[in-house]
């Protein structure tokens, strides 16, 4: 084999590798996210879905560039990588804790923000369990839920119970469960809010007096 032919073969090999990379890379990169965005979908199923999605991006790119020059192929490859990283970063950044950690719905505030039944809610910080009930002096679970709901919802004006759909706490986001319903009424919350406001006024006055 003379050196000309060797060079030619090496070029063909490189060409083959870059073509396969353009084709396969989106499938590989997207299926790597299966665990992160799967939620309740089994990882293997999610990775097949994402792999298929990736292949449907990769194949047309491969097809469109297969007769083009090496620089076009490398350019396509680099842009595909950058594009995919951008998409992945965007998706991962916008995911809620509810999905990421597969959290369950808090009966009090309605956000999917509880690790396991009876655990502490990341959003309203209350717990639905006997210890918390005794600590806070509630006589029943119903009273606990009702009082904690009145407390939680009386902090905001124009209560809808459903908003915001995504609760933000620093970098953490939690989703409202659309099927959740409060056991208190808007009217009850409104009354509690006025009571709290009254108490707030008195506290302010007392603070001023001290000063
Ligand atoms: Zn809660």
Kindly report, residue by residue over 120-155, the tens digit of the pLDDT. Answer: 999 999 999 999 999 999 999 999 999 999 999 998
Q: Ligand 1 centre from 128 Cα, in Å?
A: 9
Do 172 and 157 fall into the same domain? yes
Range of the domain at 73: 3-95
Last residue of a domain, one of 95, 110, 136: 95
Is the per-residue pLDDT at 38 higher than 80?
no
Q: Ligand 1 centre from 149 Cα, in Å?
A: 9
Do 145 and 71 fall into the same domain? no
* Farthest-apart Cα atoms in the chain, separation: 99
pTM: 0.68
Is the per-residue pLDDT at 53 higher than 80?
yes
Helix (H) or strand (E) holding 61: helix 43-65
Of the chain, the percentage scoring pLDDT greater than 70 comes to: 94
Q: Ligand 1 centre from 124 Cα, in Å?
A: 4
d(CA 111, CA 97): 10
Query: Which of helix, strand or coil describes residue 117?
Result: coil
Burial class of residue 50 in the structure, from the number of CB atoms within 10 Å of its CB (0-12 exposed, 13-18 middle, 19+ buried): buried
Residue 205 has a pLDDT of 67
Last residue of a domain, one of 72, 95, 118: 95
Q: Per the structure, how many domains does the chain have?
A: 2
Is the per-residue pLDDT at 6 higher than 80?
no
């Amino acid at each position: 084999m003379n050196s000309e032919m060797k060079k030619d073969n090496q070029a063909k090999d490189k060409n083959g590798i870059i073509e396969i990379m353009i084709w396969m890379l989106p499938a590989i990169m997207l299926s790597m996210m299966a665990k992160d965005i799967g939620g309740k979908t089994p990882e293997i199923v999610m990775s097949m879905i994402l792999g298929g999605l990736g292949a449907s991006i990769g194949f047309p790119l491969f097809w469109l560039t297969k007769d083009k020059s090496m620089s076009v192929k490398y350019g396509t490859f680099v842009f595909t990588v950058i594009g995919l990283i951008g998409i992945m970063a965007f998706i991962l950044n916008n995911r809620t804790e509810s999905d990421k950690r597969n959290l369950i719905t808090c009966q009090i505030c309605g956000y999917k923000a509880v690790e396991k039944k009876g655990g502490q809610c990341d959003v309203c910080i209350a717990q639905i369990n006997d210890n918390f009930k005794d600590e806070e002096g509630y006589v029943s679970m119903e009273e606990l839920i009702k009082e904690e709901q009145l407390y939680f919802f009386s902090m905001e004006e124009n209560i809808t119970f459903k908003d915001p759909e995504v609760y933000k706490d620093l970098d953490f986001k939690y989703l409202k469960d659309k099927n959740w319903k409060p056991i208190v009424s808007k009217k009850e919350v409104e009354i509690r809010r006025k009571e709290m406001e009254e108490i707030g006024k008195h506290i302010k006055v007392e603070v001023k007096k001290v000063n």
